Amino acid sequence: MAKVQSFSDKVAKAQKQAKKCPVCGTPLSYMKVVSPVATESGAFRYRTRVARVCKCTEEELKGM
Ligand SMILES: [Zn+2]
């Protein structure tokens, strides 16, 4: 029978391992990014998303 990893084991493991970007190897941090979205009526609404920040994206995000 295959060994089944419990959910709590996975969470504990994920917390121990800092997530790193597979491209640049920088530990990822998270940042809220608010971007305007045009609606059909021509008004703007703001959409908030959480972006992962590493060396690949930080220049782009800081320039916003
Ligand atoms: Zn990266």
| Structure confidence by residue, pLDDT tens digits, 14-32 | 556 668 999 999 989 888 8
Mean pLDDT computed over every residue of the chain: 83
2 in a structural domain: no
The confidence band for 64, taking pLDDT boundaries of 50, 70 and 90, is low
Ligand 1 centre distance from Cα of residue 46 (Å) = 26
Report the chain's terminal Cα–Cα distance, integer Å.
Answer: 52
Q: For residue 40, give both structure tokens.
A: 């059909």
Mean pLDDT of 34-58: 91
Report if residue 11 sits inside a domain: no
In total, how many domains does the chain have? 1
Asked, for residue 49, whether it belongs to a domain, the answer is yes
**Is position 6 within any domain?**
no
In a domain, 55, yes or no: yes
Is the overall model pTM greater than 0.85, yes or no? no
The DSSP code for 1 is -
- Find the mean pLDDT for residues 50-54: 89
- Residue 47 inside a domain? The answer is yes
- What contacts 24+ positions apart, CB below 8 Å, involve 6-15? none
Q: Ligand 1 mean position to 54 CA, how many Å? A: 5
Asked if residue 14 belongs to a domain, the reply is: no
- Structural domain for 33, as ranges: 19-62
